[in-house]
Amino acid sequence: MENRDDLNSILPYLPLLIRSSSLYWPPRVVEALKAMSEGPTHSRVDSGEVLWQAISDMRRSLSLSARLLSPSAPQGYALLFDELIHEKDSKRWFGEIIPALARLLLQLPSLLEMHFQSADDVVGGVKTGLRLLEPQQAGIVFLSQELIGALLACAFFCLFPVSNRGAKDLPVINFDHLFASLYESYSESHESKIRCIMHYFERVCSCMPTGTVSFERKILPAEFHNSSTTAPDADFWSKSDISLCAFKVHSSGLIEDQSDNALEVDFANKYLGGGSLNRGCVQEEIRFMINPELIAGMLFLPRMDDNEAIEIVGAERFSCYTGYASSFRFAGDYIDMKTMDAFKRRRTRIVAIDALCAPKMRHFKDACLLRETNKALCGFLIQRKSWQNQNIFIDKGDNEIQLASDDKDSALLHTETTTSHGTPLDETNREKHASSFVRDVEGSYCMDHEDVGVATGNWGCGVFGGDPELKAMIQWLAASQARRPFISYYTFGAQALENLDQVTKWIISHDWTVGDLWNMMLEYSAQRLYKQTNLGFFSWLLPSLSTTNEAISPS
């Protein structure tokens, strides 16, 4: 065990010790957890106030200072368990749930040992063990739902070390700030966030799920990483002759309720989870509350760079909800009926992509348009073969897009535009190539199928300053270039997108390519920057096209 690179990379961020190839809790922590596992008559943990004292004692036993946690956390735990929840529910938590979580924590060392023992056998030749997936290091981690449950129990008890996380640009992982915010600035929406997590713990303590969740860092290499390959530049997008994919507009409904098994977009912060464990309560944070297993990724996935995305497959949904932001409310149990793949992951695919946060006019600059389009492309790329940790390479010679491996000895995989020998595909070869790929998907260990579209919405708009009309077009470009068959776009009732369906239908009826739309978007953005128009993209586009189709229609 001591010789495993993956374990050694994550061990400084775990509260466990290692000796003679075994992971273990310090004896005093074991004693405290055993007492809690037997209920309040043995542990005397029967209130939020006493629970925090037990947490502080365990941190001291781990040589972790409680001073590094939020100073309002004790009041937050006390407020929730001693005042906000019903006395009957509080008694249940201290009589049943806290003991069950303590038992789960006692199993954490053995769960991790079993995880590392089997990590090399999940996908042949691919590392899947728990480890720090640092920026610019593509890779994938597979975790059982039981191990995730134990890790989240550890976060609930605030037992993860925190002093070394900032240096690695890791997001917060302990729940101290989540509870502290409840006390510092109480709101019903924040209480509902915690109730979602409480409901998750109640569910897993009554019946532990047996599936798997994968977490992948995807990278679009920047030019400075390899002089012979670059991420797509403006010229690449301008010349792309890929046809635009189908575009479905939904004026109502939610991304997580889509029924097409599409890749679901998380409007992410560059720090995965954003304000999930603090005061945030918008799209990303809500998703992390109703699918709490997503929080596990915050343990080992540092912030995303501009050329990165994080894809998570298999996270189970546990809660219903209503509202958004300040109106968010926990609305009871949710039974996730998604089927599982060969790796026992639910067929829920979530991709986290972080948009630029900048003054609105900056979003019209060419560099910003390129950054956003490439960011979306990185997230939307279809997994081609195994988790050889996909990164895009653009070969200047034949303009092909390939997904690269962190295994330097493995061959790069070609897209549909070329054969495995780099020669162009005619229609016959294209059909053979496609059918061969389908067999790879079904017969080996591929994650995505060619018929998986993208479910998204107003990514990077609102407080991030993005233009809803341009962001819709940017995501359409990226999904089409990634060969996704369709976009399901949820407008959330945004007035700026009331003509989205009309615009996309017009564009599709005129057979525009990715390059055509990109060029038109650049022309419009330049006019906005130089104050030659104040119109939105759709209003600017439609009158011109309706009167001078031949003049405007791209060649």
Name the binding residues for substrate.
Answer: 269, 283, 324
Per DSSP, the three-state class of 417 is coil
Q: How many other CB atoms are there within 10 angstroms of residue 257's CB atom? A: 11
d(CA 338, CA 356): 32
Question: Length of the chain, please?
Answer: 555
Listed residue (251, 234, 249) closest to 521, CA to CA: 234
d(CA 494, CA 39): 50
d(CA 313, CA 348): 6
Question: Which residues 6+ apart lie within 8 Å of 15 measured at CB?
Answer: 25, 29, 62, 64, 154, 159, 160, 161
Known binding positions: 269, 283, 324
Is residue 96 part of the annotated active site? The answer reads no
d(CA 476, CA 489): 9
Is residue 284 part of the annotated active site? The answer reads yes
Hey, which bits of 282-375 come out as E strands?
Answer: 308-313, 319-322, 329-333, 349-354
| Catalytic residue from among 6, 216, 256, 285 | 285
Angle between helices 468-481 and 537-547 (to 10 degrees): 70
Cα 150–Cα 293–Cα 348 angle in degrees, nearest 5:
140
Per DSSP, the three-state class of 420 is coil
d(CA 4, CA 352): 29
d(CA 61, CA 154): 14
- Residue positions annotated with a catalytic role: 266, 284-285
